[in-house]
Amino acid sequence: MNLNPADVLNPVFNALDALISNYGVYLYLVFVWLSLGAIAWVLGGGLRRNRSQGNSATVIPGIIFTTRPPNQSPPPIIITDVDLVQNRDNEIMDEP
């Protein structure tokens, strides 16, 4: 018993080869029309899920409470003046 894949599948390949050589044009036309039908079916919504007529889930109306921070004025901006001092090389230094 020979289980070589080439020997086992050889009759299948020979049958497909004979089918294509005898009826290849007709098979091509059938596959073209089937593909056009499949494209029209997909574009027409064939892949969308069908919704059931009844409600599958119970909808309970609810109220959502959100908390807001209290209305406060923003903290004051504190500006400090820094005296800049230049040295002999005209570089600005923070400290004298």
Task: Report pLDDT for 48.
Answer: 79
Q: Does the pLDDT value for residue 78 go beyond 70?
A: yes
Quickly state the pLDDT bin for 20 (edges 50, 70, 90): very high
- The secondary structure of 37-82 as a DSSP string is HHHHHHHTTTTSPPPPSS-SS---------------PPPPPP----
Quickly state the pLDDT bin for 12 (edges 50, 70, 90): very high
Torsional class of 45: left (φ above 0), alpha (ψ -120 to 50), beta (otherwise): left
Backbone dihedral angles phi then psi of residue 85, each to the nearest 5 degrees: -120, 140
